[in-house]
Every structure is written in C-alpha cells, then in structure tokens.
C-alpha cells in the first residue's frame, strides 16, 4: 500500500472544531449528561458521555448551530444515523425537541 500524507486541517476549520468542542461541552453540561431524547444516562460505549448528533449535517454554518445539535446516547445516535436497527425519531421531530430545549436554555435562534 502506498503511503500518502494526510491532508492538513485548514486554520479556519481548526477554529471551528475548537468552538464545536466548547459548544458540545456546554450542551453536555446543560443536559446533565443525559440524552435529550430519552433522558437516559450514557454507558461505556461512549466513555460515559452523551454524543452530539448533528441533525442536518456538519457542513458550513450547521456545524456550530446549537439548534441543529441534539445530545444522544451512543445507541440512540447509531439508530438515528442508520448504523443500528431501531425506530428512528426523524429529523422533524428532533428539530422540534431541540428548538424547545435550546430556547429554554437561553440560546437565541438567528434565522
């Protein structure tokens, strides 16, 4: 196998990823490290922390939009991504749940 260099992460993306980490830590704190969908505690699969699930994707503005991120357990996250069998909740319902929670947490929707 031919060895190739990994692509560098752009300075702009490095800043975005740093902000994303801060945002997910804040959301984890605000939800009490419980799933915002079912209220369950995470298990060993996710190192006992809830996972951020980007409902509409991770590109551009959507990466840092708190109204597009829901904190889920690893199993719930895998079901929503289609990697595991189970009943999906769906994007519309997740966006509805997140909007209500983020407004209560003090976030302001800018669109």
pTM of the model: 0.86
* Side-chain-side CA neighbours of residue 55 (13 Å): 22
Q: What rounded mean pLDDT belongs to the chain?
A: 92
First to last CA, the chain: 48
Map out the domains of the chain as residue ranges: 12-105
Whole-number pLDDT of residue 109: 85
pLDDT reported for residue 100: 94
Name residues of the chain where pLDDT drops below 50. Answer: none
Closest CA to 13 of 68, 63, 65: 63
Question: DSSP E strands: which ranges in 15-105?
Answer: 51-54, 69-72
């Amino acid at each position: 196998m031919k060895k190739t260099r990994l692509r560098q992460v752009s300075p702009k993306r490095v800043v975005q990823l740093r902000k994303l980490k801060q945002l997910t830590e804040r959301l984890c704190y605000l939800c009490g490290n419980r799933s915002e969908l079912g209220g369950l505690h995470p298990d060993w699969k996710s190192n006992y922390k809830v996972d951020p699930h980007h409902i509409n994707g991770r590109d551009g503005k959507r990466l840092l939009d708190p109204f597009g991120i829901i904190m889920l357990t690893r199993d719930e996250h895998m079901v929503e991504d289609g990697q595991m069998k189970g009943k999906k909740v769906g994007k519309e319902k997740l966006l509805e749940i997140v909007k209500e929670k983020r407004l209560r947490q003090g976030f302001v929707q800018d669109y």
